[in-house]
Amino acid sequence: MRWYTQLRWKLFISHLVIIVIADVVLLATATFLARIGLVNFAPLTLGAAAAETGQLDPAAINAAQTPLLTQFQAVVQQALLLSGFAALAAAIVVSLFVSRRIVEPLHTLSTVSRRLAQGFYRERTRISSDDEIAQLSQSVNQLADALDQTEQRRLALLADVTHELRTPLATIGGYMEGLLDGVIKPSTQTFSLIHSETSRLQRLIEDLELLSRVEAGQLPVVARRIDLEKGLWGIVAQFEPIFAANQVTLNPLIEPNLPHVWADPDRIDQVLINILSNACRYTPGGGSVTLRAFYHEHMVTVLVRDSGVGISAEHLPHVFERFYRVDKSRARQSGGSGIGLAIARHLIYAQGGEIWAESDGQGKGTTFFFTVPLAPVAVDLPAPPHDQPEVIETP
């Protein structure tokens, strides 16, 4: 990089140009005003002196005025030049100091940004000031924090995917090796276990593919005007036998005459199925799950409240992250992949809604909420005029 293209020298040169222009303007203005003032004042002075001596010759007055004017202009120019050089020296010192205070933080920001681009997400800027550059530094640090968290989630995702794929593959491989060696006798139970692990592996792969498509915005979400109340009762009818088999009571509290919403019914069903499945899974026998829907603040809110194991405060903000599970052993035994809620969050956001969870802690149950926007008001089109000619088809 050439020296004159650097910001430090650009600031320095700009300050010098401003000082030089100011000195030239000041010098020209002072000289002009001094000449006018002296011309107007000198005749009076010289005339008074001539009146005292009795000499009123205009030529003598002009002859006396010219050296005085020249001497006064020289004194003014000399004073301005000296003050200009002093101002220039002070401007050089101040300009170097100011440009350094501006350029060094920018150089630090540039260095940190290059390190972040190289993958060193732990780099941070340390600029102690209270100006726009400090705000830019805070923004860079926030970006670095986000990149670091994303990288940590990526590493955790790779570790979780590897573990989740390894578990069923290890089970299948072990049983197949035992069958080939004759250690394990072929039986319906053995084949059923292998088939179960294969199905689990297939579900995991399908969930990963679905999550990838959702996060990339490639999963089609076709929103339209739907009757959410009717859809919720259909989900209730679908889940009642499942809850009864697990000895969990399902309480539907769906507000009648809900307004129509603007959503994709298939995606809404997918979100509800995931949340209700989790509620049934984590609610012990004898517990209850409430499905409620109501109109509130231009939205329809759906909540699923269970009396299950609950979620502690430190885990609650992370339940919608990929592969995040509060109780990994419990989730693994029950077959959960840990990405269903991440998919649900993206599906709700894609339809213009919000989704969140609340819990009072371990053993106090959990409530999941999501909102769906209302459908636009239908506009009745005017009927065609009756004076149009009637078309009669002839056989």
Place of tokens 């276990």: 193
- Tokens, residue 63: 């002859």
Q: Are 68 and 45 in contact (CB under 8 A)?
A: no
pLDDT at 323: 67
Architecture, CATH, for domain 149-215? Orthogonal Bundle (1.10)
Query: Per-residue pLDDT tens for 302-313?
Result: 999 999 888 888
Tell me the percentage of the chain whose pLDDT exceeds 70.
69
- In the chain, DSSP finds a helix count (H) and a strand count (E) of 8, 7
Asked if the model's pLDDT at residue 223 lies above 80, the reply is yes
Q: In which order are the strands placed within the sheet that holds 366-373? A: 249-254, 288-296, 299-306, 366-373, 355-359
> Quick check: 44 pLDDT over 50?
no
Question: What confidence tier does 3 reach under pLDDT thresholds 50, 70, 90?
Answer: low
pLDDT of residue 390: 41
pLDDT tens digits, one per residue of 142-195: 888 888 887 887 777 777 778 778 878 888 888 888 888 888 888 888 888 888
The residue ranges of every structural domain in the chain are 3-117, 149-215, 224-373
Structure tokens at 213: 């498509």
List beta partners, residue 291.
Answer: 252, 304
CATH superfamily of 224-373: Histidine kinase-like ATPase, C-terminal domain (3.30.565.10)
pLDDT band at 333 (very low <50, low <70, confident <90, very high): very low
Evaluate the CA torsion angle 224, 230, 232, 238 in order and state its sign: negative
Q: Kindly report the pTM of this predicted structure.
A: 0.55
**What is the rounded distance in angstroms from the CA atom of residue 354 to the CA atom of residue 42?**
86
Render pLDDT for 367-391 as a digit per residue (tens, 0 to 9).
Answer: 999 999 998 865 444 544 544 444 4
Q: What pLDDT score was predicted for residue 301?
A: 94
pLDDT of residue 250: 92
